[in-house]
Structures are given as C-alpha cells and as structure tokens.
Chain A
C-alpha cells in the first residue's frame, strides 16, 4: 500500500508507548463506538503512482477537446493565450506552490511582494487605484462587487446588463437569494444594453449598474451611457471587463468605473477545464473599507527596510466575523503570482501587442466568416476579439460538425443558458460566439472558414 507517511513500525510503537496507548485505534477512544466505521471506507485499495497514472490515461484519452487535438476558437472568459515556458517554470516553484496564506510576513516576503506587484499591474490595467490580492474567478468577483455596491449605497436593486456572461449572471442570482438583493437583467438591442428599459422604481433603488466590456457577445458597449445612468441613480458603476482588452481599449477607470471585475485566466493560467482561474477586483479609494479579500500593503521592518504585509485586516472574516465585508478566506494567490509573472514577461509593449493581434485576428476571422452564405452577425456594433454569429442550422449542430474537422468552433448560446434578452429569442438556438487570440494563425483561420462553410451547408 503506497503512502507518504514517514514513521517506521518501531517508531509508531514507541510513540504509542509514550502516549500509554496500545494501538492507533485507541487514539480515537473518545469517538462514540456506534458512529465508527467498522469496515473502513468502501473504496478500492491504494495503488502506486504509475498504476494511478495509467488509470488517469483513461480520463485523458476520453477528452477530445484538448489544444493538441483541436484548434480553439472558444472563449467566453477562457482563452487560448500564449503561456511561455518561463511562466510555467516560475509559477510552479515549490516556494510559491506550497506556502500558506502569508500570515507570518517575516518568512512570506516572496508571496507578499509578488502580490504587491500583481496589485500594481491590475490597478494599472483597470485604471483604478486599488486592486485586491485576488478572488475565486470572474463570476464570484462580480458577486463581491454587487455586494460592495449594496453595502455602499444601502440600496438593493442590481441593474445587470444582459451582456454580462450568462454564467456570471446566474452566479449573481444564486447568491442574491442569500443577500436578498433584487437582480434586474437589462436587455440588449443590437448587442448593446438598452438601459431605457429599466423601470423608474428599479432606477430609484439601484445599488449597482453592471455592464460588461466587451460584453459576452463581444460587443463594445457604450460605457458612457452606463456611467451616466449610475450617476443619475446614485449607484456604483461596475465594469466586468476582459483584462486583455485593456491592452488597447480605454480602461474601466477611464470610463469612470467605481469597481472593475474580470476573469484573469488569460494572464498565464491554462484553460484547465474552468479552474482554478483568477478573480480580478479593483475599485476606487473611497470603497476601500468595503474591499473583499486580502490586500497587501507596503511598510518597513524594525530596521526600516521595505517590507510587505497584508493590511486593513479588520475588514476580513477572521477578525470581523459576521460583520465582515466578505466571507472570502482562501483565494487564488498562486494564479495571481502567475499573472504577475506573465504580465512581467509580456511587459508594456507585449500586452499592447497581444491585444492588438487579438483584434486583428478577430476582424480577419469575422470578415471571412460573414462572407459565408447564410452566416450573419448577431450585432452590427464594434467588437474587440470575440463576436457572435447567426447560423442557419442550430449552433450546436454547427459546432458538432466543426469538431469533426478538428475545430473547437466557439460557444453556442444554448449551451450557456436559456434565452435571456441578450439576443432575439428565435436566434438563441442559432447563435454562437467565436473568439480569436494572438495564437490563431491566418492558415488556421482560413481552414476554419472552409470548415465553417461546409458545416452550415
């Protein structure tokens, strides 16, 4: 039986002797006998690492949608970006991987400084002064943002654009059952949020105006209109953004956002079947006392040397308990450290270059694909690196056919949720979203176009 326990049988005996016990079972003498398992767990016996590795081959062989098998045009918050060897190597250093939360700053300066650098990068990309040390993912970061807004405004209605990813909206709905917030989804017209559809009572009670930039259909929303609405209603303006877009688009801060949230997966984290990812969170200074999660600050040690430490701890659950700003404890630090490394590797101009190439690839792909007979754009509005198309057949059928040609051709709206006001109900089953990153070549896009034309015949 394989295990990783160090004690020899003699050592176990001597330790039991020291404790005056006859057997390991006696360590559990105070557990009521009636509750104890008598036959042990009904699980297979342990196997050696190479044996388990063989069995895992069964799982990996049954996964067809891997990057080596299929060219990826799927996005929706999870993108196939370049992750170089240097980032994988540094991000898997044992000192980062096997440390706990930095509660003892004297021996945790490595993680603390890496987080400080991460916070700086996210603050700059969001155009806001404060970024926290990470949350679970984009969707749950949005939940924290709307909770902040409700706390800040003492109001309860959340005006959420239907351009926010359907899964993220679903998560907000789930947690609103606990907080009692009222979630109002605002429909899109031609891919952009139609704020005029919000009722006057919902406007009065609005705690947050939430808009995605670009939205999940890829469209560049009119953030000026959303900002104006937030001012008019005295609500917080929350932008759920694609952080890669900050390489070329105006930042959330430039648009006047109070809070920026985003999915940080594009910064060095694998597709990983959806997790662990990285919840980005940034906000204005006046919201800092309501900030969820950990925050690293700079200070000095007793010898006046620069040092880093988690700060404003009185917001957090272990101190404030039921009055905490959030219940978050464990976050996604390793992904945040990895993001700092990836952004350090990309640097100022690499970030601009990646974003530019995404936009160029998306435009080139769009132009090819809408040239196919029967394929039409869902929206006429400008986009960045992702766009939605209407197909004559069901989108799921088109994607199935594309898979047969070696393409993960996008995401069908019908796989993300139910018709929801983001596109016309009768288009729902016939719409899919295509994403293009800097990794897609002209050759791949041309082949994809050929396969797409065949798939919609």
Chain B
C-alpha cells in the first residue's frame, strides 16, 4: 500500500510548549475592536433612560483587545484543538464522521439564517415547508408516523420521549412507575428517566453483550411504562432478539423507546419502526451532518408511531389543506420543549445531507460504516481482542485487559498515546460492563489507508507497552499540554479568571 493516509494528523501544528494567555491577560485599558452602525438616534443620557435604582454605575470588565489580537488569540486556541477536519476521530458512540461543507453553507444562507423565529407564519413559509419535508423524511428513515423537531439534543429527545410515554399511559388512566434500561446504556438514559418521573430498573446484559431476554422478561410487569434500547447497542452489536423483546414489552402494555445514538449503523437497512419501537430519538448531529461544535449544538428530533402522534410537542410546522403551511399544536400535545422551534440550523443541515445522499446513499453510509468497524476489529484482533466474539455494527468494543494484566498499562494510557500518533482517542471505559474498554467507531468517511495507519499506530503502541511501558503511561508528551491534574481542578476549583485571582 503506497498511498499515504488522509486522516492522520501527526503533522498538524499543535504548537509549542508555552501557555496561551487568556484574553483578559492580553487586555489593555483603552484598546478596543468594536464598531457600531451610525444611527443618529438621540443620545439621551443613561440617567434619563434608566431609573437610578436599576442603573449599574460600574462598567463590567470584559476584556479590551484589538481585533488583531482577538484573531491571533482565538486562532492560536484553535491550533490547540483536535477536530475531525484535522484527522480521524474514532470516538465510539459519537459518530465523528466528516461532514460536508455544503451543509454548513446551506445553514449560513441568510434566507434561512437571518429569519426571526417569531415572524408570522405567512412570512416564513419556506422554513415551515423545510421543517415539514424534514419531518417526513425522518419518519421514512425511522419507519415512524410523525415527529417533533424541537428537542435540541439527544438527551432532550430522550426526556421528550419519556414525557410522551407518560402522557400516553396517563391518557389511558394507566399508572406506571418503572422504565427498563440495559446496563450497557448511555448515562443520559437513566438520568432522563428520573426527570421523566419514573424509576430505573437495570437489565443485565448476557455474556454475549446482548440483552438477556430471560432477565428482561423477569423484570417486566404491569407497572413497566416502557424500555429504552439502543440498537445496535452500546457495545456495537445488533439486538437480534428485538422482535421478542418488543412483543414481551408490548405484552405488558409497555412502550419501546429507541435511543438513536447508533442510527448511523442501520440507515436504509432496518428501521426502528419495523423493529417494533414506538418512540425514536435521532441525534442529527451524529448521523446527519452537524459537526459537534466542541460539545454542541445538536438536534434530537423524536419520531413516534401513530398512537403517540397526538401527544407530540407543539406547535408543529404543518402542511394545510390549501397547500400553505402553519403552526398547529397536536390535539393532546405535551407542550413546548424548546424556547422556539428547535435547533433550526441543525435541522436545515440534516435535510441538505439527506437530500445529497438520497435513499440509496444513506444505505451506503451504513454499509461502509459497518464495513470499516468490522475491518478494524479484525485487523486488530491479535493486538486488542474484541470484547465480544461476534460481528459488530458501526463500532467495535475492544479490551486492553490482557495488556493491563501483562504490562500494567491501562486502556486510558493507550488512548493517550494514540493522540501522539495523530489520531483522536477512542472512547474508553464505556460501556461500563466491559473491562478496560476501548470503543472505536471509525465511521464511513475514513479511508482504508487511514484505517491501516490507525491500526499500525495501535500495534506500535502495544509493542511499546512491552518494551517501554512508561512511555505509554506518561503519554502524551508532544501535545499542547501533557496529562492534566484533574484532582487538583476539582479540589481547588477555579472556573473563572476572577477565581484564579488574575
């Protein structure tokens, strides 16, 4: 293989040993960069506009920097940041794929981006139509009947889904108390259940990493409101017994909630609705083209089966009989879950992404995502064995338990060393049920050369664990900072410049 990998970032200018000053440390009294419009509005003195008891006589110090220094500062900060656009980001469960720049350009169009959310419906027909089109396409992709686009992130979608579950049961005068969650679930699931007013019952996974159907059935009862599942699950395996799970849960009157964190694996192959799920949230920022922004924004639309549609949050963009669009609240809506209409720009990006790919293209995404994960899993089998001896979907959970036992080097150390090799680390220590877990999700956008370079890097690290384990334990050394003292951060809490005493 002669081609060089496109996704290895070891040449990136993650610069230098010096600390970047804070913007406040660069501040010089009297310096400024802002410029405002000339308005000719009468300059009435503040004291005549604001009653004295409300007026702040002190000016709040922010920073005083030139535009040149502002640009230099934030550009240097950006050089101290890994990103998908720099190199491969195989962070399991996060689907850090490359996102087309086209989708960003769509969202930056003033025809979408400069529209006030409170403008009357006749003036925003384009936006309303876009939202309806997206809802319909997301329903086709998930096999559901209707959707809300309001939730701003996956966890917001989860809580919305649980409130829908609650509204449905209450409408049937059915008091239920518990929600089942596998022990491999994302932490947001149990946290959302609590906020939804339910109790969590944890279902153990079987030896094979899948839901233990017998344990599930044993936990079921008339007080079970529903179950939250991720499929493929968080160890990257498809829950083959999903039909039996669905009929068991439905059998006691419960609902099935689909956590869409791993939807990328099954696009166009199999749909949550066809598996028997009643409520589905999607992480549009993972699956449909919003790069994660360093932690957000995302969007977490929730799609439901027909019997739950009347409870969806509202008002919803709706196509009226005369072909125009308007805001309509579903008849028994649980109400708003967002200040306006959801993260609209993320929604627009998702529609552009779906339209560019089309139905066939979305299927190829899932195929190639699963191909890459299985290739990497097998390629690394001799170095980091898979936690489960079973074909994976879009991500693979490997274990460093042998390396730890042999050389005292932990999964975390391997991950840290990988940073120096020019790759982002995989997710470590998740799911919690796997010892020394390293979860790799290469995604469909990484090339074979990049995967091979990633695998070679991991092999080199494994060899290093035997020969010079301290190098791995002390990695990384060539990054902008070395390992940070997390205990000190928590013990001597400094979360602002003021607390730092600067």
Name 21 interchain pairs, CB-CB below 8 A, sorted by A.
A6-B6, A6-B448, A53-B105, A60-B110, A89-B71, A97-B291, A107-B476, A107-B479, A120-B497, A178-B162, A254-B56, A276-B345, A302-B482, A317-B188, A320-B187, A329-B155, A331-B297, A335-B296, A350-B36, A400-B120, A408-B116
**Which residues of A from 1 to 24 have beta carbons under 8 Å from B?**
1-7, 11-12, 14-16, 18-19, 24
A148 to B86, CA, bound (A): 39
Q: Check if A327 sits within 8 Å of B485, measured CB to CB.
A: no
What are the residues of chain B within 8 A of A18 when measuring CB–CB? 375, 378-379
What are the residues of chain B within 8 A of A333 when measuring CB–CB? 293-297
What are the residues of chain A within 8 A of B78 when measuring CB–CB? 90, 93, 95-96, 110
Top 4 nearest A-B pairs by Cβ distance?
A: A60-B111, A274-B340, A110-B81, A46-B358
Any B CB within 8 A of the CB of A425: no
Q: Other than A136-B156, A139-B339, A140-B338, give 7 A-B pairs with Cβ distance below 8 A.
A: A61-B111, A120-B22, A134-B295, A272-B344, A299-B489, A331-B296, A334-B293
What are the residues of chain A within 8 A of B35 when measuring CB–CB? 84
State whether A41 and B268 are in contact (beta carbons under 8 Å apart), knowing that A301-B481, A321-B191 are contacts in the complex: yes
Q: Check if A317 sits within 8 Å of B79, measured CB to CB.
A: no
Q: Check if B371 sits within 8 Å of A15, measured CB to CB.
A: yes
Q: Check if B61 sits within 8 Å of A124, measured CB to CB.
A: yes
Q: Find the residue from A3, A103, A116 having the highest chain B CB count within 10 A.
A: A3
Q: Check if A53 sits within 8 Å of B123, measured CB to CB.
A: no
Any B CB within 8 A of the CB of A322: yes
Q: Check if B96 sits within 8 Å of A100, measured CB to CB.
A: yes
Q: Which of B40-48, B216-224, B457-465 contacts A (4 or more CB under 8 A)?
A: B40-48
Q: Check if A330 sits within 8 Å of B192, measured CB to CB.
A: no
Q: Check if A345 sits within 8 Å of B111, measured CB to CB.
A: no
Any A CB within 8 A of the CB of B436: no
Name the residue on B nearest A416 (C-beta).
B118
Any B CB within 8 A of the CB of A86: yes
A296-318 interface code vs B (CB 8 A; 1 in, 0 out): 11111111011111011100111
The interface size bin for chain A is 35 or more
Q: Check if B85 sits within 8 Å of A59, measured CB to CB.
A: no
What are the residues of chain B within 8 A of A46 when measuring CB–CB? 355-361
Any A CB within 8 A of the CB of B230: no
State whether A107 and B81 are in contact (beta carbons under 8 Å apart), knowing that A45-B360, A63-B124 are contacts in the complex: yes
**Which residues of A from 267 to 326 have beta carbons under 8 Å from B?**
270-277, 288, 294-303, 305-309, 311-313, 316-324, 326
Any B CB within 8 A of the CB of A450: no
Among candidates A3, A43, A82, residue contacting B359 with C-beta atoms closer than 8 Å: A43
Any A CB within 8 A of the CB of B205: no
Q: Check if A303 sits within 8 Å of B42, measured CB to CB.
A: no
Any A CB within 8 A of the CB of B67: yes
Q: Which of A73-81, A154-162, A202-210, A372-380 contacts B (4 or more CB under 8 A)?
A: A73-81
Among candidates B23, B155, B196, B490, residue contacting A330 with C-beta atoms closer than 8 Å: B155
Any A CB within 8 A of the CB of B306: no
A169-185 interface code vs B (CB 8 A; 1 in, 0 out): 01101110111100000
Any A CB within 8 A of the CB of B274: yes
**Which residues of A from 386 to 441 have beta carbons under 8 Å from B?**
396, 399-400, 403, 408, 411-412, 415-416, 438-441
A105 to B295, CA, bound (A): 13
Nearest chain A CB to B438's CB is how many angstroms away?
Answer: 13
Name the residue on B nearest A128 (C-beta).
B496
**Which residues of B from 16 to 44 have beta carbons under 8 Å from A?**
17, 19-20, 22-24, 31-44
Nearest chain A CB to B185's CB is how many angstroms away?
Answer: 9
What are the residues of chain A within 8 A of B341 when measuring CB–CB? 273-275
Any B CB within 8 A of the CB of A370: no
Name the residue on A nearest B118 (C-beta).
A411
Name the residue on B nearest A90 (C-beta).
B74
Q: Check if A109 sits within 8 Å of B445, measured CB to CB.
A: no
State whether A99 and B83 are in contact (beta carbons under 8 Å apart), knowing that A106-B419, A441-B41 are contacts in the complex: yes
Q: Check if B34 sits within 8 Å of A350, measured CB to CB.
A: yes
Any A CB within 8 A of the CB of B153: yes
**Which residues of B from 299 to 345 have beta carbons under 8 Å from A?**
300, 313, 334-345
Any B CB within 8 A of the CB of A186: no
What are the residues of chain B within 8 A of A92 when measuring CB–CB? 104, 108
What are the residues of chain B within 8 A of A7 when measuring CB–CB? 368, 371, 447-448
Among candidates B130, B238, B355, B480, residue contacting A106 with C-beta atoms closer than 8 Å: B480
State whether A330 and B74 are in contact (beta carbons under 8 Å apart), knowing that A95-B79, A129-B496 are contacts in the complex: no
What are the residues of chain B within 8 A of A25 when measuring CB–CB? 367
State whether A301 and B118 are in contact (beta carbons under 8 Å apart), knowing that A107-B82, A167-B339, A347-B65 are contacts in the complex: no
A92 to B74, CA, bound (A): 11
Q: Find the residue from B14, B83, B89, B94 having the highest chain A CB count within 10 A.
A: B83
A384 to B46, CA, bound (A): 10
A415 to B105, CA, bound (A): 31
Q: Check if A399 sits within 8 Å of B120, measured CB to CB.
A: yes
Among candidates B129, B188, B343, residue contacting A329 with C-beta atoms closer than 8 Å: B188
B449-462 interface code vs A (CB 8 A; 1 in, 0 out): 00000000000000
A139 to B283, CA, bound (A): 21
Q: Check if A302 sits within 8 Å of B483, measured CB to CB.
A: yes
Any A CB within 8 A of the CB of B405: no
A416 to B89, CA, bound (A): 42
What are the residues of chain A within 8 A of B34 when measuring CB–CB? 84, 345-347, 349-350, 353-354
What are the residues of chain B within 8 A of A133 when measuring CB–CB? 295
A423 to B359, CA, bound (A): 50
Q: Which of A188-196, A231-239, A243-251 contacts B (4 or more CB under 8 A)?
A: A243-251
Any A CB within 8 A of the CB of B126: yes
State whether A106 and B336 are in contact (beta carbons under 8 Å apart), knowing that A137-B152, A275-B341 are contacts in the complex: no
Nearest chain B CB to A33's CB is how many angstroms away?
Answer: 10
B46-58 interface code vs A (CB 8 A; 1 in, 0 out): 1001110111100
A307 to B75, CA, bound (A): 17
Nearest chain B CB to A206's CB is how many angstroms away?
Answer: 21
Any A CB within 8 A of the CB of B197: yes
A276 to B102, CA, bound (A): 18
Among candidates B123, B361, B379, residue contacting A64 with C-beta atoms closer than 8 Å: B123
Q: Find the residue from B117, B127, B197, B375 having the highest chain A CB count within 10 A.
A: B117
**Which residues of A from 33 to 56 have beta carbons under 8 Å from B?**
34-37, 40-49, 52-53, 55-56
Q: Check if B41 sits within 8 Å of A31, measured CB to CB.
A: no
A60 to B419, CA, bound (A): 42
Among candidates B61, B343, B489, residue contacting A276 with C-beta atoms closer than 8 Å: B343
Q: Check if B495 sits within 8 Å of A294, measured CB to CB.
A: no
State whether A47 and B50 are in contact (beta carbons under 8 Å apart), knowing that A41-B141, A74-B116, A174-B337 are contacts in the complex: no
Any B CB within 8 A of the CB of A67: yes
Q: Check if A42 sits within 8 Å of B340, measured CB to CB.
A: no
Nearest chain B CB to A390's CB is how many angstroms away?
Answer: 19
Among candidates B153, B335, B490, residue contacting A297 with C-beta atoms closer than 8 Å: B490
Nearest chain B CB to A168's CB is how many angstroms away?
Answer: 6
What are the residues of chain A within 8 A of B83 when measuring CB–CB? 94-99
Q: Find the residue from B41, B152, B493, B499 having the highest chain A CB count within 10 A.
A: B41
Q: Check if B336 sits within 8 Å of A178, measured CB to CB.
A: no
What are the residues of chain B within 8 A of A121 when measuring CB–CB? 62
**Which residues of B from 240 to 296 have beta carbons under 8 Å from A?**
240, 242-243, 266-271, 274-275, 283, 285, 291-296
Nearest chain A CB to B211's CB is how many angstroms away?
Answer: 14
What are the residues of chain B within 8 A of A327 when measuring CB–CB? 155, 158-159, 188, 191-192, 194-195
A117 to B204, CA, bound (A): 43
Nearest chain B CB to A15's CB is how many angstroms away?
Answer: 5
What are the residues of chain A within 8 A of B116 when measuring CB–CB? 65, 72, 74, 78, 80, 271, 273, 408
Q: Check if B297 sits within 8 Å of A334, measured CB to CB.
A: yes
Q: Check if A274 sits within 8 Å of B271, measured CB to CB.
A: no
Q: Check if A330 sits within 8 Å of B295, measured CB to CB.
A: yes
Nearest chain A CB to B390's CB is how many angstroms away?
Answer: 8
A99 to B6, CA, bound (A): 17
A89 to B33, CA, bound (A): 15
Q: Check if A1 sits within 8 Å of B367, measured CB to CB.
A: no
Name the residue on B nearest A100 (C-beta).
B292
